[in-house]
C-alpha cells in the first residue's frame, strides 16, 4: 500500500495558513474586475508557456499567447503542438472539476496524457503505460539522476496510487498537501514514456480544484516551478529518497506565492474599509478602466478631469466620464464640485 512519509513542519503550516488567508481575502473582496475572463486567459497562457518551457520548449511567452489566439508563428511543429495540447488539457480538467467528480480514475489520468501527448508521441504510446525501462539524466552532465520503477511494476503502483487518492478518508488530508504528494508520486512512478511532469502538474491542479481551490481562474503554479527549474527538480529528486517533507515545504510555498500574488491584485481594489462596509460582502464587477480609476484615487486621494489624458492617453474624455458616472451610480465614487476642477473621490 502507498503510504507517503512526511512531517508537518512549521514551514508547511505557515505556507498553508498564507494560502487560506489569501483565499479568504479573494472570496470576500467587495470589488472584482469584470475582466475576470482576461485574468483566466492570462493564467492559461502562463501555464501553457511555463508548463512546457520547464521541459525544454524554446518558444517565448508571446509565441505561446499568439498560438493560443490562433495566430501563426515560426517554430517547430512539436513545440507549437505542446502549447496547444496544454491549453486543451487545462480545459479538460476544468470540465472535470465543474462536474465535481468524486474520484480521479485511471481513465482520467490516461486521457490527460492522451491530450498532452497528442501528435507528439507515436499513437501506440499516447495514453498508455510505458513498456520500456527509462532513466532520468542530468541535462548538463548526462549522469543518471533517477531510475523509475520497471514497466512490470507500473500497473500495480498506479492501482495503489489511485487507491490512496480516492480512499474513504481522503478528506482528512489538506487538499494542498494531497496535491503535492500526488504530484511527486506520479513523477516517481513515471508511468508514461514521456510527459509525466506535465501530467503530474495538471493532476495536482485538478486535485486543488476539486478541493475547493480555484487556482486555475487566476494562478499558474507552473510559472513558479519554471522560474527556478533546477530547484524544482532538485526537490522532486530529494523526495524520491523516501521522505516528502522538503518537497511539501517547497510545493506549499509555491502555492502560497501564487495565491498571495493575486490576493495583492484584488486587495488593491478593495483596501478601503468603507467600501467593504458599504457593500457588506456583495461583489461589484468593474471594467479594466474602472479598476485603474479606483487604484489611482486610492493612491492620490481624488481624480480630476485634467488627469484623464495622462491616465488614459488614447481614450476620449467622454468614455472616461461614462466610467466615472457608472462608478457614481454603483455608489463607489462621488463627485465633489461641478466645474472642470471638480474632484471624484471614493464615497
The residue ranges of every structural domain in the chain are 10-269, 287-346
Pairing of strands 284-286, 31-33: parallel
How do 303-304 and 333-336 pair as beta strands?
unpaired
* Architecture of the domain whose range is 10-269: Orthogonal Bundle (1.10)
Domain formed by 287-346, architecture: Orthogonal Bundle (1.10)
φ, ψ at 274 (rounded to 5°): -60, -35
Measured at the CA of 173, the angle between CA 47 and CA 89, to 5 degrees, comes to 25
Evaluate if pTM is beyond 0.85.
no
Which of 50, 53, 184, 190 is catalytic? The answer is 190
Q: For every one of its 347 residues, what pLDDT tens digit does the chain have, with 9 covering 90 and above? A: 899 999 999 999 999 999 998 888 777 765 555 446 666 788 889 899 999 999 899 999 999 999 999 999 999 999 999 999 999 999 999 999 999 999 999 999 999 999 999 999 999 999 999 999 998 776 667 777 788 999 999 999 999 999 999 987 766 899 999 999 999 999 999 999 999 999 999 999 999 989 888 754 677 789 889 988 889 988 998 898 889 999 999 999 999 998 888 788 777 655 554 555 666 656 677 777 888 888 788 778 899 998 899 889 888 999 999 999 999 998 889 999 877 778 999 88
For residues 263 and 223, give the distance between their C-alpha atoms in angstroms, rounded to a whole number. 17
Annotated active-site residue 174? The verdict is: no
Amino acid at each position: 500500500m502507498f503510504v507517503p512519509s512526511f512531517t508537518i513542519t512549521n514551514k508547511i503550516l505557515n505556507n498553508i495558513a498564507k494560502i487560506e488567508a489569501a483565499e479568504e481575502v479573494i472570496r470576500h473582496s467587495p470589488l472584482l474586475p469584470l475582466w475576470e475572463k482576461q485574468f483566466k486567459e492570462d493564467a492559461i497562457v502562463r501555464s501553457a508557456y511555463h508548463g512546457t518551457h520547464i521541459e525544454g520548449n524554446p518558444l517565448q511567452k508571446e509565441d505561446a499567447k499568439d498560438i493560443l489566439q490562433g495566430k501563426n508563428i515560426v517554430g517547430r511543429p512539436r513545440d507549437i503542438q505542446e502549447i496547444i495540447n496544454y491549453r486543451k488539457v487545462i480545459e479538460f480538467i476544468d470540465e472535470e472539476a465543474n462536474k465535481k467528480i468524486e474520484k480521479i480514475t485511471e481513465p482520467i489520468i490516461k486521457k490527460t496524457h492522451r491530450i498532452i501527448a497528442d501528435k507528439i508521441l507515436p499513437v501506440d504510446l499516447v495514453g498508455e503505460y510505458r513498456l520500456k525501462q527509462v532513466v532520468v539524466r542530468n541535462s548538463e552532465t548526462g549522469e543518471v539522476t533517477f531510475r523509475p520503477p520497471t514497466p512490470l511494476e507500473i500497473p500495480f503502483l498506479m492501482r495503489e496510487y489511485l487507491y490512496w487518492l480516492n480512499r474513504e478518508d481522503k478528506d482528512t488530508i489538506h487538499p494542498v498537501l494531497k496535491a503535492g504528494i500526488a504530484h511527486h508520486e506520479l513523477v516517481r512512478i513515471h508511468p508514461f514514456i514521456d510527459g509525466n511532469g506535465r501530467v503530474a502538474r495538471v493532476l495536482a491542479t485538478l486535485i486543488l480544484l476539486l478541493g475547493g481551490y480555484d487556482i486555475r481562474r487566476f494562478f499558474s503554479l507552473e510559472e513558479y516551478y519554471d522560474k527556478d527549474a533546477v530547484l524544482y527538480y532538485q526537490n522532486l529528486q530529494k523526495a524520491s529518497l523516501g521522505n516528502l517533507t522538503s518537497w511539501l515545504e517547497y510545493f506549499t510555498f509555491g502555492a502560497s506565492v501564487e495565491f498571495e500574488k493575486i490576493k495583492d491584485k484584488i486587495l488593491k481594489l478593495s483596501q478601503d474599509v468603507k467600501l467593504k462596509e458599504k457593500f457588506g460582502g456583495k461583489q461589484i464587477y468593474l471594467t479594466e478602466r474602472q479598476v485603474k480609476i479606483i487604484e489611482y484615487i486610492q493612491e492620490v486621494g481624488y481624480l480630476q478631469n485634467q488627469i484623464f489624458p495622462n491616465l488614459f492617453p488614447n481614450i476620449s474624455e467622454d468614455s472616461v466620464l461614462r466610467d466615472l458616472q457608472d462608478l457614481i451610480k454603483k455608489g463607489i465614487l462621488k463627485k465633489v464640485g461641478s466645474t472642470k476642477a471638480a474632484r471624484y473621490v471614493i464615497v
